[in-house]
Structure 1
């Protein structure tokens, strides 16, 4: 079995952050969304994986490489604009050959294993298998297909030229034409990442399962409580890190309160601020703004106070390289 990961969404509801950062690369608990998706693929025993990308695809390829670091073999396919599953399938046709395959969305987090569904599909080989959440059976999370899907997609494309063919539509066509399509339920946590609220909710869930690791430099005047990761090269000075929280490699946290449910990205600098339920991405600087809560701060952004410290909490979504002064 092979895998096809659809990572071509534009993330319009996450702008301005996604003007320069594909939403599939937003880090959750220190790792991109799509990396968590690839964990799910690898859990099925699948190694050969195609990733369909659009704008920002070069950033995804740079972040993931050839997949060898994750125990996978990755092949990339580029769409000029999101064109749906049917077009993605045509790009990956030679790669997929006559193999069965599983389809994941690159922006959908599925935290628990569906290896049992994959094993059942491989043993029984219906034309298609659909995995839906037990609490939301109208949402199709994952699809398994035999090569019969190629006929379905071709027929749908011929019937409705210009319409985007979806995995759900292909499965419905197969069922309507006598194919065996089976549905299995998923009882674990899942989240489709479409908005800032989705990012923060998924981030909280992943941080709640955090395994603590103290590899950075924490001075004697700082306090660490709960499950906290301090990565190598990070420095914590006169601060309270309240888990679950991550302070990434190269970051400096000084005279601040970080957490709960906060990640400070690589090479960030945070001074005199309480950051909770938030993500501060790589290279960003935050200096004293009182409290940031429920915020997404883009890469290399600068957020500072225009007046006195000690302001009430604020929620911000700030794009890459932005400069923001918060009025008191």
Structure 2
């Protein structure tokens, strides 16, 4: 996700104009959990501004500062006072999961396990943490990005733990990369006879760490939006499919083919916005064409055709340069200025 993550928390990059982190918080709330601790690092101020006290989500949020990125097990270690002696869910903030975690939470509550880990089947398990299961679905081993995977079951990034994990995170030592690994803590539990169970994802899941994953998540969400035009659309414009135009947005002499979302106070003039595109608040498109893309707040695109499969950061300017028209694929960091041949 570089260069966006040099200037912004990747958990706040929007999918359908809503930060990835918000989907996770809503999933936690919908599972019946109301007390949430968010472990933050260098981007803590930005996360605090975006989430606040959690009341907008129906949550009570506490922030836990991690001075250095020392691993997921270290997050559990420093959250000890917040967690107390209660069972808890650990949810990685850059995960995008359709279907929520209510089934996982209920299975953990009734199963009497000390740990339960969410898994999903993947085509290329060598790129993920991989779990090997026993005959009853118990986890017998975990391996990070193995050259020869023992299964196609990848670790999703949502875990349920009993208080037994606190002893595990205190007992393990940093890995070769200098971090306290949550997989090592889980291994510690397994080796000492604790019940560690799997739970398979029934819905759609993506780790939003790559451009293609962000665009795919954007597509999945946009396929579910309901048409809602509250901005201003003139008579020269054509709208078809699932299109959301938020308040304050203006559309003139343009074609909008859904599913798409146009953010508040955006302006689209003499342009084409194609399927699976989200245009952030305050953006300006003038004589432009774009589809299957994400454009973040305050950016502008002038005189450029056939932008596709792109993620454009905040306050970016993309403008026309002389040359032959072509399709452009862009991943542009915040506060950039780009000139392309169009």
Cα shift readout 1:19-66 (whole Å, capped 9, x = no counterpart)? 111111110011001111111111110011111122222111101111
SS state of the match for residue 325, structure 1?
Answer: strand
Specify the alignment match of 1:181 in structure 2.
196
CA offsets 1:156-214 (integer angstroms, 9 cap, x no match): 13x86984223332222111101011111112100001111111111111111112211
Q: TM-score, normalised by structure 1?
A: 0.91
CA contact (8 A) 1:143 1:167 kept: no
Aligned to 2:243: 228
Q: Specify which of 48, 54, 67 is matched with residue 67 of structure 1.
A: 54
Does the CA contact (< 8 Å) of 1:281 and 1:300 recur in 2?
yes
Matching residue of 1:277: 292
For the pair 1:165 / 2:152, whether they are aligned, the reply is no
1:113 Cα deviation from its structure 2 partner = 2.8
**Distance of 2:341 and 2:274 partners within structure 1:** 23
User: Which digits, 9 at most, give the CA deviation of each residue in 1:119-162, with x for residues without a partner?
Assistant: 121123311111111454132432100100000111113x8698
The partner residue of 1:85 within 72, 78, 83 is 72
The answer for the alignment partner of 2:338 in structure 1 is: 324
* CA–CA distance in structure 2, aligned partners of residues 161 and 307 of structure 1: 51
Alignment partners' CA distance in 2, 1:304 and 1:163: 44
Is 2:202 the counterpart of 1:215? no
2:131 equivalent to 1:144? no
Indicate if the aligned counterparts of 2:121 and 2:154 stay in contact, CA closer than 8 A.
Answer: no
Indicate whether 1:100 and 2:83 are aligned: no
Corresponding residue number in structure 2 for 1:32: 19
Is the contact made by 2:165 and 2:185 (CA closer than 8 Å) also made in structure 1? yes
- Normalising by structure 2, what TM-score? 0.88
Alignment equivalent of 1:191, drawn from 206, 228, 238: 206
The two structures, once aligned, show a CA RMSD in angstroms of 1.7
- Mark the runs of 5 or more structure 2 residues left unpaired by the alignment: 123-151
Q: State how far apart, in whole Å, the 2-side matches of 1:229 and 1:305 are.
A: 27
Is contact 1:140–1:168 with CA below 8 Å preserved after alignment?
no
**2:288 is aligned with 1:301:** no
Q: How many matched pairs? A: 313
**Residue ranges of structure 1 left out of the alignment (5+ in a row):** 1-13
